[in-house]
């Protein structure tokens, strides 16, 4: 399934949860079953069975052009991010390979739609882009064994890990938080693709363009710490809850390591794409 949250264009106050169907991505409204995607995820197999049973009835659908997509999940408990997790990204920095995951976080309030405008904070002069595969946790996970970890994955979505590099790397005592957690610094979308539709998350092409120019182009096969390891490792430090998301890292090509460095400015358009999931586009304003 492809899970979305949306507003109807003719009734912007009407918020819905839906499932995209068909090549034209029509949307079946399932709000009468679950009011949010977080409720769907937290409902586990019982809720998923109710939704699938409704879809099997051939219910009416809404044309995709009639809605505006919101972030596919919001109000989760945690947004956990992994730094320096692509071999080719580490190599572009001439850095040593990490021996354990580098973990930071964003606030859940950072999450915005995959097509939302991206306000350029006045506080930074070094705004950067990062395409990332995001894992959506499907059920409570604590002290999970690596061999069991994929049972806790609900699905995947595209994330744009927006970064203020001056605050991440030069200020705030070396703490990354404020450089990663300013307003709107976590666009997500366009949908959550459930795990059963992604046969191999370790072999997904991902890319990022800025104003149509390719900046990042790699594959999740470059991940240093794979998804099962990340879920197991994190779950031994803090309990993961349904709806939590894990941003798994970014490949090479970010602005900070270009020569000379390149920074986003108002008017720039950033497009992040991941194979089999889709793309999100944010314009800096």
Quick check: is 219 in a domain? yes
User: What is the pLDDT, as a whole number, of residue 211?
Assistant: 98
β-strands 153-160, 131-137: how paired?
Answer: antiparallel
Task: Please tell me whether residues 169 and 235 are part of one structural domain.
Answer: yes
Q: For residue range 210-232, what is the model confidence (pLDDT) as tens digits? A: 999 999 999 999 999 999 999 99
Task: Please tell me whether residues 64 and 94 are part of one structural domain.
Answer: no
User: What is the pLDDT, as a whole number, of residue 180?
Assistant: 98
Of 41, 69, 97, the domain-final residue: 69
**Is 168:261 a contact under the CB 8 Å cutoff?**
no
Task: Please tell me whether residues 225 and 112 are part of one structural domain.
Answer: yes
CA distance 258 to 152: 37
Tens of each residue's pLDDT in the chain, 285 residues: 999 999 999 887 889 999 999 989 999 999 999 999 999 999 999 999 999 999 999 999 999 999 999 999 999 999 999 999 999 888 888 888 889 999 999 999 999 999 999 999 999 999 999 999 999 999 999 999 999 999 999 999 999 999 999 999 999 998 999 999 999 999 999 999 999 999 999 999 999 999 999 999 999 999 999 999 999 999 999 999 999 999 999 999 999 999 999 999 999 999 999 999 999 999 999
Q: For residue range 19-31, what is the model confidence (pLDDT) as tens digits? A: 999 989 999 999 9
Task: Please tell me whether residues 85 and 136 are part of one structural domain.
Answer: yes
Task: Please tell me whether residues 56 and 141 are part of one structural domain.
Answer: no
Its pTM surpasses 0.85: yes
CB atoms within 10 A of CB 11: 9
DSSP state of 136: E
β-strands 153-160, 213-219: how paired?
Answer: unpaired
User: What is the pLDDT, as a whole number, of residue 174?
Assistant: 87
Q: Which domain holds residue 63?
A: 2-69
Of 23, 41, 69, the domain-final residue: 69
Task: Please tell me whether residues 135 and 86 are part of one structural domain.
Answer: yes
**Is 51:34 a contact under the CB 8 Å cutoff?**
yes
Residue 226, exposed/middle/buried by CB under 10 A (0-12, 13-18, 19+)?
middle
User: What is the pLDDT, as a whole number, of residue 53?
Assistant: 97
Number of domains in the chain: 2
Task: Please tell me whether residues 148 and 244 are part of one structural domain.
Answer: yes
Task: Please tell me whether residues 185 and 140 are part of one structural domain.
Answer: yes
User: What is the pLDDT, as a whole number, of residue 128?
Assistant: 98
Task: Please tell me whether residues 23 and 117 are part of one structural domain.
Answer: no
Quick check: is 229 in a domain? yes
Task: Please tell me whether residues 228 and 142 are part of one structural domain.
Answer: yes
Quick check: is 74 in a domain? no
Here the tokens at position 166 are: 């001056």
CA distance 75 to 246: 14
Of 17, 51, 69, the domain-final residue: 69
Which CATH number covers residue 237? 3.90.850.10
């Amino acid at each position: 399934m492809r899970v979305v949250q949306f507003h109807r264009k003719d009734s912007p106050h009407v918020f819905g949860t839906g499932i995209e169907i068909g090549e034209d991505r029509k949307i079946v409204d399932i709000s009468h079953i679950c009011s949010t995607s977080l409720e769907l995820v937290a409902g586990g197999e019982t809720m998923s069975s109710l939704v699938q049973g409704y879809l099997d009835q051939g219910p009416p659908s809404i044309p995709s052009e009639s809605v505006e997509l919101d972030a596919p999940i919001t109000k989760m408990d945690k947004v956990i991010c992994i730094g320096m997790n692509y071999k080719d990204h580490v190599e572009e920095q001439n850095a040593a390979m990490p021996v354990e995951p580098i973990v930071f976080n964003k606030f859940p309030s950072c999450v915005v739609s995959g097509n939302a405008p991206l306000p350029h904070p006045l506080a930074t002069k070094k705004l950067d882009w990062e395409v990332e595969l995001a894992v959506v946790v499907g059920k409570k996970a604590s002290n999970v064994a690596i061999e069991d970890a994929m049972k806790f994955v609900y699905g995947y979505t595209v994330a744009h890990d927006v970064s203020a590099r001056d605050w991440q790397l030069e200020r705030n005592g070396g703490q990354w938080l404020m450089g990663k957690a300013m307003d709107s610094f976590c666009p997500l979308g366009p949908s959550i693709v459930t795990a059963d539709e992604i046969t191999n998350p370790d072999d997904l092409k991902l890319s990022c363009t800025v104003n149509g120019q390719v900046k990042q182009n790699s594959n999740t096969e470059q991940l240093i710490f794979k998804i099962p390891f990340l879920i197991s490792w994190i779950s031994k430090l803090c309990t993961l809850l349904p709806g939590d998301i894990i941003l798994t890292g970014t490949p090479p090509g970010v602005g900070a390591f270009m020569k000379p460095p390149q920074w986003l400015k108002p008017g720039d358009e950033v497009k992040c794409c991941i194979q089999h999931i889709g793309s999100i586009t944010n314009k800096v304003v």
